[in-house]
Structures are given as structure tokens and as C-alpha cells.
Amino acid sequence: MDAMKHVLIVEDEEGLLEGLAHNFRYEGYDVLTARTGPEGLKAALKQKPDLVVLDIMLPEKDCFTVLKELRLRHREMPVLVITARNFEADVLKGFDLGADDYLTKPFGIKELLARAKRLIQRGPSAAGSPGPTVYTFGDVEVRFEPREVLKTGKQVALSFKEFELLKYMIEHRGRTVSREELLEEIWGVDEELGVTTRTVDTHVSNLRSKLGAGFAQPFIVAVHKVGYKFVEP
């Protein structure tokens, strides 16, 4: 590592917290720790670490609340969620709120460190290739900064991943994008995490439902047995 990277570990299980901190320090990272949701959120906002390792079950403020509040302030800070539960609904909720990766207990420390290294190397600038500041189609206006979507002038609430998906499709408009590519590029995972290509279909459906009213045809069209293409309606 050219410069010491900072990792924040938010975990209420003392033994696991100490073990993770020891291994990250051994690998040359500067380690910050927190044992509750509010402590973790405060440390993340103040210290701006290169990676947050966030346990899903936290006292006082759970992982999902921490993620949601963190993403309001720092959209690109890498977050790796660890959990003892392997429920697809939890995985999807975490990704929708802005988690970058997911690891289910029990896990090998080498795998955790490898995933952490990948996220840190990817860094905050890996949100995709540069695109337009504002993109308009029909009565929909997409503002890439500050991540707002308006339809007929009224703001539409999109989840973190719904916005990322819409942005990616716009940036690759006119090209057929496979479900597997979207799963990898938007969610950063393949199906081994229990996040299937059905997830992509669900998010496309959500975008059509939220933004498609009044269009003669979908702005994201399905390409049989391949994936999807963004086409201006």
C-alpha cells in the first residue's frame, strides 16, 4: 500500500471485533472500531475511512439505518456488510441502501481481507464512467448530481440501486446490457451471494412503474434471453 488506508469496523461482538481489528492491522491498515450503530455512523462521518466493515445486527441503530443515513452524506464510501443471516431479502435491502459487498458468517479471514482490498482499491471514484450532469427523456429529468430524478417537475424517490441502475442504463444507452453485467456492475456480485438476475428484473420493473407513466413504450426494453436496452420513448 502506498499510503496507510483506514478501515472502520462496526461490530458489537467484542471477540470478533478484536479479531478483525488484529487481522486488518497485521495487513497494514489503520483500524478504527465502534460497537453500536450511532458510534459507527459518527465515526464514519467524522473520520471518512477508506472502508467501513458493518455488522448487520447492531445495538441502538441497526445496519440498515446506519447505511441509509451514511449514504445521505457520503454516497461513495465503500461499505462491506457482514451478517450471520443469509436471507435474500436482507442482502437485497442492504444493496438497495448502498452496501458495496456482503459476506455471511462464518467466513474466512482471507476472503474478508481480499474483498476489503478490492473495495479499497476500487475507491470512491469507481462509480462508473463519466456521464452527463443532467439527462432528460420525455418528462423525466435525471440529475446525476445531486442524484435526483424528477417526473413532470416532481421529485421521484428511487432507492440507491434503482438510481445506479438507471444511471448505468443511460450511460450505456442504445447497447444491450446483459443481466449478468448489471448484477456485476451495479451490485458488484454474482449469483453466489444469493442475489440472482431476478433482482435486476425487479429493479427494472420498479423503474418502469415509478417513471414510465405516460410513455407509449418502456424506456428500458427487454431483449429476449439477453438483458435490457435503454431506448428513449
Between 174-183, 195-204, 221-230, the lowest mean confidence (pLDDT) is in: 195-204
Query: What is the arithmetic mean of pLDDT over 39-45?
Result: 94
3-state secondary structure of 1: coil
pTM for this prediction: 0.63
What integer pLDDT is reported at residue 26 of this predicted model? Answer: 95
CA atoms 167, 172, 173, 175: torsion sign: negative
- pLDDT tens profile 208-224: 999 999 888 899 999 98
| Predicted pLDDT of residue 73 | 79
| Residue 133: pLDDT band with limits 50, 70, 90 | confident
Specify the CATH architecture of the domain 134-230: Orthogonal Bundle (1.10)
Lowest mean pLDDT among 70-79, 96-105, 124-133, 193-202: 124-133
pLDDT bucket at 1, cuts 50 / 70 / 90: very low
Predicted local distance difference test score (pLDDT) of residue 99: 87
pLDDT, tens only, 163-181: 989 999 999 998 999 988 8
User: How big is the CA angle at 11 (ends 126 and 196), to the nearest 5 degrees?
Assistant: 50
Instruction: Write the pLDDT tens digit of every residue in 62-108.
Output: 899 999 888 877 777 899 999 877 667 777 788 888 888 888 888 89
The CATH 1.10.10.10 domain(s) of the chain lie at 134-230
pLDDT at position 128 over 80:
no
Question: Do strands 134-137 and 140-143 pair parallel, antiparallel, or not at all (unpaired)?
Answer: antiparallel
Domain 6-122 listed as CATH 3.20.20.80: no
Per-residue pLDDT, 160: 83
* DSSP track, 187-229: HS--GGGT--HHHHHHHHHHHHHHH-TT-SS-SEEEETTTEEE
Who contacts 223 (Cβ-Cβ below 8 Å, separation ≥6)? 176, 229
pLDDT attached to residue 129? 41
Mean pLDDT score of the chain = 86
Q: Could you give the angle at the alpha carbon of 144 between the alpha carbons of 82 and 198, nearest 5°?
A: 50
**Residue 29 in this model has a pLDDT that exceeds 60:** yes
pLDDT at 8 over 90: yes
Q: Where in the chain is the domain with CATH 3.40.50.2300?
A: 6-122
